[in-house]
Structure 1
Amino acid sequence: MTLLSNYWLTWLAPDGLTFNIVIISIFIIIILTILIIKKSSNQNLPPGPRGLPLVGNLLSLDPDLHTYFAALARAHGPIYKLRLGTKLGVVVTSPDLAREVLKVHDATFANRDVPVAGKEASYGGADIVWTPYGPEWRMLRKVCVREMLSGATLDSVYALRRRELRQTIAHLYVAAKNAAAVDVGEQMFLTVLNVITSMLWGGTVEGEERAGLGAEFKQVVGEMTELLGAPNFSDFFPVVERLDLQGIQRRMRGLAKRFDGIFESMIDRRLKMSGGSKDFLQILLQMKDASGDGDATPFTISHVKALLMVTILINPIFKRNLRTPSFATTRVAMAERMFMYSLASLLHSFDWSVPDGHKLDLEEKFGIVLKKKHPLVAMATPRLSHPSLYE
């Protein structure tokens, strides 16, 4: 009895208690890992690289995932699995398999885990990107496809696209006259962002206020995009999500609050306006007013804000080659109207060259979308006959 009492007291001692808690935690984690692996061993899974206990293949991931996945495809075939912490991922790398997943069986694969950063940025996953496939998703898709991004709606805002691109051409003309090199990617990002914000609430803000709002959007969108693309420990190990070890959830929540304040201000001002040009915000608010409490899936103010957010965050120039009957198709329609017009205007208005001492660099960098590792900096030379054509 004395021996047992001494052992119990040793167990409860501060140093001993901490050590024993660590040992028990490790033991429980090992047991859970074994059970998870045992449970999944009977599943009909594709091949894949071997991983480590607990972390799986996380430590072997290369930052340039596009080249890393291509190398794994050469070793394991066009479809293979990766274990990312507690999450199982299946990678498809061939067009035929991608078509099966994204088109033929798109309803089966429509649902996806909402990353912590994405949940904070979309009002709890209330947008069309993260909402599970079902009545609510179909309602949001109807709003986007038939109302916001229909061909007639996009054609009706042609004047906005033309205005923003003409301002970009005028800015590039000034830079060309001063023999200044320009960051083409940055300039086009600003142009697209201005077009999007004009489409969202072009009739609500004007002049210097709109310019100031665009500058704030540029900063917040850049930070949000960085957080959405950053690896988050909480996504791979949801059990530690509350700890927010990397601070991503806290930072994204702060950025989302800044956006929410802007949305609230724009919505309040739009509700007080009568008439004016028809923009996306007006369309969404009309949809909300038409949706009653008795609807099976009512369209709420949270849906309005979430769709405004996703419209801003998703780069409209990004174009998919796969023709899927989904929200992606409508974004391609918007991209086609903007991309070809922008490219044609830049090539028609200027001759382009690389600055002296620079080489044309085509090295890529992985991100939410693949982009150049080093910005494209170029010199623009006016080629039109009269300066008034650049106004």
Structure 2
Amino acid sequence: MLLGVSGGIAAYKSADLVRRLRDAGAEVRVVMTASALQFVGAPTFQALSGNPVRSSLWDEAAEAAMGHIELARWATRVLVAPASANTLAKLAHGRADDLLSTLCLATEAPLLLAPAMNRVMWANPATQANVATLRSRGVAILGPAAGGQACGETGEGRMLEPLELVAALADGLAPPRLAGRRLLISAGPTFEDLDPVRFVGNRSSGKMGFALAAAARAMGADVTLVAGQVALATPPGVRRIDVRRAAEMQAAVLAALPGQDAYIGAAAVADYAPAETARQKIKKKEERLALELVRTPDILAAVAAHPQRPRLVVGFAAETADLETYARGKLAAKGLDLIAANDVSRADRGFEADDNALTVFWRDGRHEIAHAPKAQVARALLSLVADRLETGR
């Protein structure tokens, strides 16, 4: 893997990216632009990659043997992260005035770019035209994400996080295992209102479902994400529908169902909702308050029984005890193809955590997905989904 680092504050993330790539088994060589060196020093990348860092076309020792051509031939893929607006412009117009742009022009390896810049620069028509040109030539554009930026503004332009980039690289070049597939994913909690200021909800953060959406998109799928009330940015390239209540989530899921190849129900849907929602705030008067709760729609069962049922229906079972018993019970009762069960009683996984571990069950089998960051767990689960879609079982 040849990693190009161009100028921008997001270059600090690239140091962690080198470590994550090596953890995933990649050999990494780093090429930096002169501007990138103003943000992070070459010794940092040399220590993390275990290889000398190149930054100049005028390195006599390297170029005596046409080092830039050797690097271009060595690379099996080239990732530029961060890719600044200037770098995008140079590559779109075929310029080769420094080592990094020369390598990108001279290599036959797949080229991937992870843009990082101010939101206004990203939205500028010139930048968007450059991105469109690069995409038309088969260059993969990874991101950017939306969120807070170093300049203090908020919007699209953040470089994807290192683990997100590793996920994209892991599945994005093989060709993508989910290319041409349509996936519908639900994520996050549902909130059932008691009155205008109170609700019944749960601790789901939506991180697992959003990780699945991001990984599925990186694997080439057309992804629709139905999301409960969460504070998460929409994964790049994902179509998002926001909902609040279980009934709203069911309506949105069923409306989006036609033509889907798979549905993954990762949302933590409330099992019960208040029978009535008070139109005014309930006042604190009595020592006790009794609430009547009624069952909410069973979205998974509805999808599994739907006339336009996807080829694959995958459920989640968040349990605190007897994991296999309850998971297999849901698998059979709801008519699912797979169910991914996790122990949410543990603080290091499940709700609100950044990591997870899953046991995936089907009628006559099971598969363990080890404790890992949710982006990695998502890729492992989607590999099982891709297996099923490919074999037709």
TM-score by length of 1: 0.25
Higher helix share: 1
Higher strand share: 2
TM-score by length of 2: 0.25
Bigger radius of gyration among the two = 1
